[in-house]
Homo-oligomer: A and B are copies of this chain.
Amino acid sequence: MLPSYDKELQSHGCKVTPQRSLILDILHESLAHTMTADEIVGLAREQQPNISAGTVYRNLNTLCELGLLKCLDSVGDGRHYELNTGHHHHLVCLGCRQRVAIDFCPMNSEVRDLAEKSGFAVEDHNFEIKGYCTKCRAGAKRSPDTNGGMI
């Protein structure tokens, strides 16, 4: 069952448009993974063929600002988006570039203290494990030594 984000949107003074709802639905369909803006445009056009790429980009930014989405980044594969389902990290496949949630967080008071010891005010953190998923282990599309040191 798709949860409705209507009230969440309206509470922020946002209008509920078909484009906005579709983007949220698409991201809800793949809760365990993440998607690029381009992938979202492609899937969105299956249901709204005339949706503008600009609309998708604009809404992804808006929904990130509202805290409904999270934006991730990695060397060599641009931005990825996902529903903000709470703090977690990912396994990143260097073959198919899919990101899968992992249930481990390295941040604890010990690490935080280490960072703050140098006068740093900690706000957030990022952790990702890179490698090859089960599918890509067989016929690895990008071997570790052919991706330009951009693992």
Residues of B within 8 A of A130 (CB): 122-126
Give Cα A125 to B151, complex, Å: 8
Partner of A121, one of B75, B102, B126, B131: B131
Residues of B within 8 A of A88 (CB): none
- Quick one: closest B residue to A105, CB to CB? B106
The stretch that binds B, out of A3-11, A13-21, A39-47, A59-67, is A59-67
Residues of B within 8 A of A103 (CB): 114
Give residues 83-140 of A contacting B (CB, 8 Å).
91, 93-94, 100, 102-104, 106-107, 111, 114-115, 118-134, 137
A69 at the interface (CB under 8 A from B): yes
The stretch that binds B, out of A22-30, A48-56, A142-150, is A142-150
Q: Given A119-B133, A125-B128, are A72 and B75 also a contact pair (CB < 8 Å)?
A: yes
Copies of this polypeptide in the complex: 2
Q: Given A64-B149, A149-B64, are A124 and B131 also a contact pair (CB < 8 Å)?
A: yes
Residues of B within 8 A of A128 (CB): 125-126
**Cβ A104 vs Cβ B94 within 8 A:** no
In the assembled complex, how far is the CB of residue A83 from the closest CB belonging to chain B, in whole angstroms?
12
Partner of A118, one of B91, B115, B123, B124: B91
Partner of A122, one of B111, B121, B131: B131
Q: Could you tell me which A residues sit within 8 Å of B by CB distance?
A: 61, 64-67, 69-76, 79, 91, 93-94, 100, 102-104, 106-107, 111, 114-115, 118-134, 137, 144, 148-151
